[in-house]
Amino acid sequence: MSTDSRPSPAFPLISSKLSQRHYDESVATAAKSLVECSYAILNIGPELARCLDKMQGEMATTQASERTQFSFVSRTDGFMPSGMTFARDAEKVDLCETFNFWHCYKASHSRFDFSRSPLYTTAERAEAIFFEIARELIRVVSRKLEYAHPIDFRNDSFVQLNVYPDMLKHRRRAHLQELHEDGHLVTFIKPNAPGLLVRVEGRDHLVNLERDELLVISGSLLTELSDGIVQPLYHSVLDLNLPAPRASLIYNVNALYEQMPSVLGRSIAMKSLANQHHIEFGQEPYHSD
Ligand SMILES: [Fe+2]
């Protein structure tokens, strides 16, 4: 696909209103959809949407000096400089502002006043909600794949707020983020507006979520873990020229074991694989400070 040409506006929709096949409130059905189709829509109630609203508002009023102080690029933590990350094409950087929150770095955050700010405490709350959903989903997916090894992921996973302001847009770019797969086990995505495209059976679909729904998609670390049973989902973010800036609250789920078995018992250097992907997005290796 040429990423500079304007894509056709006629995208088929993925929506819980249109298809029962990929939608159910039960985690069991979501796990089945994730394994078989590489994505699922989950109804999770309104609190994450409220967290996203709050965080987007707070992000807009956070001063540059505060952003600079609470920025730990070497561990992908805190405010990330805009124009640094990309979807494997360094010429086409992500057109967003990013704030990352890691549960495992809370102790080191506590010496900064910013850790008492509404943006930070809301990120903390969002992480706790995401973690509970992810723990249940991964438990059921493991059982479905007959995978017995523990997957401890909380300390290797992080919440990411992406805000796509007008000032970062590029009129020659059709996408705010180019086509990619995430290189995680799974990614939970809670956007506040349309624009997310997922490539299913070779065709881009526009994801249309209700306010109390989120999308979970598979990444190539789950493909490794499952010996190819679960394929990674490629996706992009289309610039729809929305009247208000688009924002997305994301939970990137990793389990950075030096070695762990696959479903078939093959040894996987999971941390090394994850770092390869992470570096391809313009990031430093995980936990590298
Ligand atoms: Fe992504």
pLDDT in the model for residue 3: 45
CA 180 to centroid of ligand 1, rounded, Å: 6
Question: Nearest 5 degrees, angle CA 50-CA 237-CA 256?
Answer: 75
Structure tokens that stand for 50 in this block: 């409220």
Domain count, the chain: 1
Residue 89: which domain range? 13-280
Three-state DSSP state, 127: helix
pLDDT in the model for residue 85: 66
Structure tokens that stand for 99 in this block: 């704030």
CA 36 to centroid of ligand 1, rounded, Å: 19
CA 216 to centroid of ligand 1, rounded, Å: 11
CA 283 to centroid of ligand 1, rounded, Å: 14
* Distance, CA of 82 to CA of 98 (rounded, Å): 7
* Distance, CA of 34 to CA of 31 (rounded, Å): 5
Three-state DSSP state, 244: coil
CA 146 to centroid of ligand 1, rounded, Å: 27
234: domain CATH number is 2.60.120.330
β pairing state of 186-191 and 213-218 = antiparallel
Residue 5 falls inside a structural domain: no
CA 57 to centroid of ligand 1, rounded, Å: 22
What are the Cα distances from residue 245, in Å, to 139, 145, 195?
35, 39, 11
Q: In sequence order, what are the beta bridge partners of 78?
A: 71, 100
pLDDT in the model for residue 247: 94
**Sheet hosting strand 246-253, strand order edge to edge:** 39-43, 213-218, 186-191, 246-253, 158-164, 97-102, 77-80, 71-72
CA 2 to centroid of ligand 1, rounded, Å: 18
Residue 8 falls inside a structural domain: no
Residue 286 falls inside a structural domain: no
CA 65 to centroid of ligand 1, rounded, Å: 28
pLDDT in the model for residue 243: 76
Residue 69 falls inside a structural domain: yes
CA 111 to centroid of ligand 1, rounded, Å: 31
What is the chain's alpha carbon radius of gyration, rounded to the nearest angstrom? Answer: 18
Residue 256 falls inside a structural domain: yes
Tell me the pLDDT of the chain (289 aa) as tens digits.
Answer: 444 455 455 888 888 766 555 445 589 999 999 999 999 999 988 999 999 999 999 999 999 999 999 999 999 999 998 766 665 565 666 678 999 999 999 999 999 999 999 999 999 999 999 999 999 999 999 999 999 999 999 999 999 999 987 766 666 677 778 899 999 999 999 999 999 999 999 999 999 999 999 999 999 999 999 999 999 999 998 887 777 888 999 999 999 999 999 999 999 999 999 999 999 888 899 998 7
Residue 7 falls inside a structural domain: no
CA 113 to centroid of ligand 1, rounded, Å: 30
Residue 1 falls inside a structural domain: no
CA 182 to centroid of ligand 1, rounded, Å: 5
pLDDT in the model for residue 86: 60
CA 92 to centroid of ligand 1, rounded, Å: 14
Least Cα distance to 161 among 244, 57, 260 occurs for 57
Residue 288 falls inside a structural domain: no
Structure tokens that stand for 131 in this block: 């973690």
CA 267 to centroid of ligand 1, rounded, Å: 26
